[in-house]
Structure 1
Amino acid sequence: MNRRSIAALAAALAVTPLLLSAPHESAEAAEGHGGALPPSVRSSRVLGVDLGTVTIPELQARMDRGALTSSALTRAYLRRIEAVDPAIGAVLRTDPTALRQAAASDLRHRRGTTRGPLDGIPVLLKDNIGTRGLATTAGSLALAGKPPAEDAALVTRLRAAGAVVLGKTNMSEWANFRAARPTSGWSAVGGQTRNPYVLDRNPCGSSSGSAAALAASLAQVAVGTETDGSIVCPAGMNGVVGHKPSLGLVSGSGVVPISAEQDTAGPMARNVTDAALTFAVLSGTGPAGVSAHTGTEGLRGKRIGLWRLPSLGPEVDALMVRTAQRLRGAGAEVVEVALPYQERLAELEFPALLSEFHRDIDAYLETRDGPRDLAGLIRFNRAHPAERTCFAGQELFEQALAAPPVTDPAYRAMRAELTDLSRRSVDETMAAHGLDAIASPANPPAWTTDCARGDNDVIPSSTPAAVAGYPSLSVPAGRVGELPVGLLLMAGDRQDAALLSLGAAVERRLDAWRAPRYLRTAPGGGPVASG
């Protein structure tokens, strides 16, 4: 992918009126349905805009004509965090310099020297992304001491683009790579993040706080990270957009790792426009400013392969069938597909990640105060009972410590086979059917959060793109009862621009975003089946 393709995509999307013209259920509709927050608190309408539906280009247009300032927008989000976040536990800490950052953006707007579409836009960062002056813990007390001395490379890009770093979001501790049966959204540092749609349901992991915060309109955009599913599953389960970029397009420098072979940071937002604009900054492929151009591709003539995955439950499968019908109604050709090699990928991925985690976490810990290597981290957890208040185990740490080194020929053969089969699973399917993208469910309906049981999260849809290093994108598809389900789109290597453009067209057609109602439990009281 080159700079021109990303810039053209961002320019095309910049004036697309996504999600704003359709009527959406107001927060007030939750009254009488067990909502945990009063309507006045739930409502995301402030400053003459609905934070739940407004896009970055619309905010910039208001700032350009003096009808809005970054300071006012930042203050509105800070007040909303204070009022709403106690119910969901998505935001760990806010940046005490946020209003100072916003004031600097206001000055640039007055002088006509803005740095692009993210100038003055409040952004939340997952707590494994290094941020100078702010604790960066990956959810662990072991890293809760001195903050990093430097920003991660992606944070440097955000600051250079004028974005306001609003704060840090909770996450599944160590990005869900500690225990055999973890509970997504829980960390020793932040406790449990809850799903804003139904508060006793899980937000999925590990970018749980980023997704839940966006669902609750606590920032305009957020940044998550993924090794396999940790952007796209939380996005789907919290009814927002999540883009896992092609491997290598966003720098991982300064981000707490699992595996350099699969890890990537990526944008999360409430619409594809904002995700695309944020990706242009994170990847460094966007221009200094985004000029407004009209025109966005539609769905007519696009060929999409539907990987239904009925194992995620009959409700999700029925939603996928309805989704395919709606896409066909917009002129897309939707054909059913089955991706090959998935059983073998499932056999190989976890053992490979164990070896890679041992290598990469040792290298990272050398740069931070606290335990200096994985063995020291295991000792720390044994010595600190607060690390075991939700789930006690650290079986993955222990298995990684004993895993073969990445110099071992058996490991090298394993990773080579993983790369080959995962790429073939996508490439061969797309070529055989002449596809523009492959679609599948991003998630089941959210399961109830239960520390004793752990997650119910065997979700195979993210694995092919995650292991291959190919892009994937989750957009809201609809709901099962009160609980959102996302449509996952994936494509070939470096096809991020085309995938985002297609995702914008799918998003417009499905028009599935709805504000959360912060219900204490699902209507009827019983669990919603997740397959």
Structure 2
Amino acid sequence: MEIDTLTIAGALDQFACGDLSAVELCQACLDRIAEIDTAGPTLRAVLELNPDALTDAEACDRARRSGAPVPPLNGIPIFVKDSIDTTGHMMTTAGSIAMIGNYAPRDAVVVARLRQAGAVVLGKTNMTEWSYMRSARTCSGWSSRGGQIRNPHVLDRTPSGSSGGSAVAVATSMCLGALGAEVDGSVVRPSSANGIVGIKPTVGLVSRTGVMPVAAPQDTVGPMARTVADVARLLTVLAGPDPEDPATMVDATPQAPDFTTFLVDGALKGARIGVARDLMGTHEGVDKVIDDAIDTLRDLGAEIVDPAIGAWTPFFGEAETELCLYGFKDGINRYLAAHPKSPMKSLADVIAFNRANADRTLQYFPQDLFERAEAKGGLNDEAYLKAKEECRRMSRTDGIDKVLATHRLDAIVAPTDGTPPWAIDLLVGDHIVGGCSAPPAMAGYPHVTVPAGKCHGLPVALSFFGPAWQDGKLLGYAYAFEQATHARPVPAFKPTVA
């Protein structure tokens, strides 16, 4: 078994012909975790393993031997970000020691759908604590519970976040897929930094019930895997309405298709693709990789519009920050109230816990965003409603919608991150420069990232984003590019760039 190159489709084929069992694959993943995450380079991507994983895998093998039809992900090992509820003796803590003991009363809807599809939940992945919402000076991939995640390509470089553990687990073949969650960049940026494929779906395509929230207009769960086809398979299982999540029940929500049907080699022929040139220019090495990728899109039959300029907003601009502060306070208080086993009952409790345990929680970063969020009012405040409207205006009316209409585009491309993954810096925090996560995140529109090449041994990724509900079309474009380039880098575990 070549686990580094094994895809979901490949594993299912081997299961069907008897060359591989779910137990064997699950054990191979557990061995891999012990070898490189717990020991070896000590990546710290995994927070907690599911003690029932092998038992669940055995049940998958029995189901297959019975001769009855098996579900579409039967026996496939999947990791879940630590902000997504799971039952089965696993906690949900958002990486915070304040939340140790928070055993959810039920699976998040997305986890329930994975289990119904036969997936084996391997455990929970480490993440940027509280999804970046504790401090404006956070270091991606650090949490008080799990420590600092490391990038497997170059170990002193950021894994990015906040779904960094999920991305690292996928990149290093500790699993065949993982769930991340994003408010702005938390699926696509770590996917880019670790050289894998990720999609931030249209908000409303995938349920958020049972997921720790940040800002409802932007929150979504997204699958991460090593290939576009694997991401499409996962999204097909995850997508669909949820009566408990109003965003999935709006009149505009289309019936979720089988996303693998969009994966054809000629998907880019005749597609009008705009280049967000104003989201480039922060690093010459990244720009070179993306310019080469644009040439490939042209060779594959796309009509390239370069430049396609928009009124793009900066990462975490003032209006988006306000939206997140209000949304986080409201959302996390509602989440905690719905979890009877949570040791924290409110954001105020978490703030007090951190103050009382500063030597373990505040040794690197303050909790300034927590304190600013706690000072906010409710979601009926004029300031929140104004910020929400401003985010939509900048990202939709004066942003993506305007560019798409002006140039008659099917999609927009840009580098997912403006620079290669930066050095981990626990004293100063992140060094995020450029990138394109904010416009589609604030608009609630789909965003796919796919490996495009390397710069100094570090992954560089190409992003496709466009209008709402065009997730399948974007996956098709990414698939055509992926099949033409096969640019996914293999982790080298180098100690440093130098």
Give the structure-1-normalised TM-score: 0.86
User: 1:347, 1:197 → 2: CA distance?
Assistant: 33
Matched, 1:437 2:406: no
Superposition pairs of residues 255-334 of structure 1, within 5 angstroms = 255-284=211-240, 295-308=264-277, 309-334=279-304
Q: Deviations over 1:488-524 (max 9, x none)?
A: 11010111111111111111122111211100111xx
The code of the aligned residue for 1:174 comes to: W
- Identical-pair percentage: 42
Tell which deviates more after alignment, 119-128 or 319-328: 319-328
How far did 1:293 drift?
A: 11
User: 1:174, 1:183 → 2: CA distance?
Assistant: 12
1:75 counterpart SS class: helix
Residue matched to 1:6: none
User: 2:204, 2:196 → 1: CA distance?
Assistant: 24
Q: Which runs of 5+ in 2 are unaligned?
A: 241-254
1:438 counterpart SS class: strand
Describe the shift of the 1:304–1:171 C-alpha distance in structure 2 as closer, same or farther (beyond 3 A).
same
User: 1:503, 1:386 → 2: CA distance?
Assistant: 45
Describe the shift of the 1:174–1:497 C-alpha distance in structure 2 as closer, same or farther (beyond 3 A).
same
Matched, 1:81 2:33: yes
Describe the shift of the 1:299–1:516 C-alpha distance in structure 2 as closer, same or farther (beyond 3 A).
same
1:52 counterpart SS class: coil
Describe the shift of the 1:263–1:386 C-alpha distance in structure 2 as closer, same or farther (beyond 3 A).
farther
Matched, 1:60 2:12: yes
How far did 1:299 drift?
A: 2.1
Larger RCO: 1 or 2 (CA < 8 Å, sep 6+): 1
Residue matched to 1:21: none
Matched, 1:371 2:344: yes
Describe the shift of the 1:383–1:390 C-alpha distance in structure 2 as closer, same or farther (beyond 3 A).
closer
Q: Deviations over 1:340-371 (max 9, x none)?
A: 25269823111121111111111111123212
Kindly indicate whether the alpha-carbon contact (under 8 Å) linking 1:345 and 1:418 is maintained by their aligned counterparts in 2. no
Superposition pairs of residues 73-472 of structure 1, within 5 angstroms = 73-86=25-38, 87=41, 88-132=43-87, 133-284=89-240, 295-308=264-277, 309-336=279-306, 337-342=308-313, 346-368=317-339, 369-388=342-361, 391-424=364-397, 425-443=399-417, 444-472=419-447
Alpha-carbon RMSD: 2.0
Kindly indicate whether the alpha-carbon contact (under 8 Å) linking 2:265 and 2:483 is maintained by their aligned counterparts in 1. no
User: 2:70, 2:256 → 1: CA distance?
Assistant: 11
Residue matched to 1:44: none
Residue matched to 1:33: none
Matched, 1:484 2:453: no
How far did 1:306 drift?
A: 1.2
Kindly indicate whether the alpha-carbon contact (under 8 Å) linking 1:139 and 1:190 is maintained by their aligned counterparts in 2. yes
Kindly indicate whether the alpha-carbon contact (under 8 Å) linking 1:231 and 1:266 is maintained by their aligned counterparts in 2. yes
Describe the shift of the 1:294–1:252 C-alpha distance in structure 2 as closer, same or farther (beyond 3 A).
closer
How far did 1:237 drift?
A: 0.5
Give the structure-2-normalised TM-score: 0.91
User: 1:220, 1:499 → 2: CA distance?
Assistant: 21
Residue matched to 1:38: none
User: 2:169, 2:302 → 1: CA distance?
Assistant: 33
Kindly indicate whether the alpha-carbon contact (under 8 Å) linking 1:181 and 1:391 is maintained by their aligned counterparts in 2. no
Query: Structure 1 stretches (4+) deviating beyond 6 angstroms?
Result: 289-294
User: 2:30, 2:472 → 1: CA distance?
Assistant: 32
Kindly indicate whether the alpha-carbon contact (under 8 Å) linking 1:204 and 1:237 is maintained by their aligned counterparts in 2. yes
Q: Deviations over 1:217-250 (max 9, x none)?
A: 1000000000000000000000001100110111
Q: Which runs of 5+ in 1 are unaligned?
A: 1-46, 526-531
Kindly indicate whether the alpha-carbon contact (under 8 Å) linking 1:240 and 1:513 is maintained by their aligned counterparts in 2. yes
The code of the aligned residue for 2:268 comes to: L
User: 1:317, 1:124 → 2: CA distance?
Assistant: 32
Tell which deviates more after alignment, 112-121 or 255-264: 112-121
Describe the shift of the 1:390–1:193 C-alpha distance in structure 2 as closer, same or farther (beyond 3 A).
farther
How far did 1:386 drift?
A: 4.5
The code of the aligned residue for 1:307 comes to: A
How far did 1:298 drift?
A: 3.3
Q: Deviations over 1:257-301 (max 9, x none)?
A: 1111111011000000000100111114678x9999995543222
Tell which deviates more after alignment, 370-379 or 158-167: 370-379
Kindly indicate whether the alpha-carbon contact (under 8 Å) linking 2:280 and 2:434 is maintained by their aligned counterparts in 1. no
The code of the aligned residue for 2:317 comes to: A
User: 1:379, 1:78 → 2: CA distance?
Assistant: 37
Residue matched to 1:17: none
User: 2:70, 2:294 → 1: CA distance?
Assistant: 40
Match of 1:69 among 4, 21, 46: 21
How far did 1:111 drift?
A: 2.3
2:430 counterpart SS class: coil
User: 1:258, 1:344 → 2: CA distance?
Assistant: 16
